[in-house]
Amino acid sequence: MTTETIDRAEVFSRPSAQFDGDGNIEVRASAALGCRRALWYAATGYEPTNPPSDDSLTAMEAGNALEPVVARAMERAGWKVDAPDPQDPKQVAVRVGPNMLVTGHPDGTVRMPLPEGEAAAPQVFLFEGEPEAPAYGDSMVVEIKTRGPEAFKRWRTLGAERSHPGAVAQAALYTLGEFGEIRPVVIATMDTGSRTWDYEVIPADRLERALQDACGWLGELGAHHVQNGPDPDALPERDFTANSWQCRSCPFLAVCLPGAAEDDGTDEGAETEGKEVTDEEARDAVAAYAEAQDSIKEPEKAKRTALDTLKAWMRRQGDSKATVGDRTVTLVSSTRYSVNHRRLNEALDPETRAGIVTENESEYVRVS
Ligand code: SF4
């Protein structure tokens, strides 16, 4: 084990909130939109009743380990990345109220390569034939995230302000801490399934709003602190309900919602609708599915080969319709339209996008 791992782990395992010796409540930027009661539990020294499982810790560590991978991918794509020293990451602190600080460690700053012809100033070359240095835009904070395939897709489609507002608030606080002003920010995300990455730029005016929302949210916790002092029994109201993901993954679930903690894991089948299915029936269903899959594989392959042959033949004929035996063969042309979500998300604020890109929940079963 290297000291780098230990140092980094120590830096990032700070509690989500704590009181400093000067009467401030200090909140981690990554928890800026977190449940304020959970922050109070952390700051007043409650022991976590539901610490993260080994699997969650592994997922978290894998996410941290992939951050430099995303940074290098950005560099290969032409970005100028200034990443912090992993042994001594830079901490920023932002005061969001008379008795509240938000602190954290930004993933770095980046400068976007400017398209050719958009260099800010004419370049001077000392030597003839010297390669032209790339031109970059202004420095921006980058917030690097890793997401599973579904969350990655959701982020790309909805934009970070709708899919992961906590990450945007975190980036807004880092920007203020890093530059002393609000600038556009970059959210770079890697899909942990396909190992592809993408980015979204959030313009400064929308980041300003995210910052105001986060300050308003945390300001109420600051007011609670002014009113009650660091009293562990003066609990703020719950911000979420028992069936939310925030509560289900909350380290203080058992103390806050003991009933929900008891239900958790012991009553997993309660939400299953419809008929009761035994384990035996589930095993039979998987076997039947696999058999059906195998039985259609060959015919599907034969169908594809035949259609490819016919497509080549129709193209050579130059006709879009032909009769072969008693069948009609048609070469169908269609146009596909795709949306550049990165540009859409950058151009429109979240409310406008919500009227255009809508969400529908559905569920299905995948057997692999
Ligand atoms: S269980 Fe839910 S309401 Fe209670 S502290 Fe945790 S997140 Fe907040």
Is position 17 within any domain? yes
Residue 201's CATH number: 3.90.320.10
Measured CA to CA, the distance from residue 99 to residue 43 in angstroms comes to 13
* 88 shares its domain with 17: yes
- Tell whether the torsion through CA atoms of 237, 240, 242 and 248 is positive or negative: negative
- In the structure, what pLDDT confidence band is assigned to residue 266 with cuts at 50, 70 and 90? very low
Instruction: Give the pLDDT mean for 139-160.
Output: 94
Domain that holds residue 296: 279-315
Among 292, 315, 338, the domain-final residue is: 315
* Tens of pLDDT, residues 33-78: 999 999 999 999 999 999 888 888 898 899 989 999 999 999 999 9
* 286 shares its domain with 211: no
List strand residue ranges (DSSP E) for 224-320, in order: none
218 with 97: CB under 8 angstroms? Answer: yes
- Determine the angle formed by the axes of helices 204-228 and 36-43, rounding to 10 degrees: 50
Is position 360 within any domain? no
92 with 177: CB under 8 angstroms? Answer: yes
* Tens of pLDDT, residues 300-351: 889 999 999 999 998 888 888 888 888 889 988 888 878 888 899 899 999 9
- In the structure, what pLDDT confidence band is assigned to residue 265 with cuts at 50, 70 and 90? very low
- On the question of pLDDT at 126 being above 80, the answer is no
Measured CA to CA, the distance from residue 253 to residue 247 in angstroms comes to 6
> What is the average pLDDT value for the chain, to the nearest integer?
86
pLDDT of amino acid 81: 96
DSSP assignment letter at 108:
-
Is position 15 within any domain? yes
Task: Tell which atom from ligand 1 comes closest to the C-alpha of 256.
Answer: 4
The residue whose CA is least distant from atom 2 of ligand 1 is 247
The residue whose CA is least distant from atom 4 of ligand 1 is 256
Domain count, the chain: 2
- On the question of pLDDT at 119 being above 60, the answer is no
* 24 shares its domain with 92: yes
The residue whose CA is least distant from atom 7 of ligand 1 is 247
Q: Say how many C-beta atoms besides its own lie within 10 A of residue 194's C-beta.
A: 9
- Please name which of 80, 206, 210 lies closest in space to residue 133, comparing C-alpha atoms: 80
Task: Tell which atom from ligand 1 comes closest to the C-alpha of 251.
Answer: 6
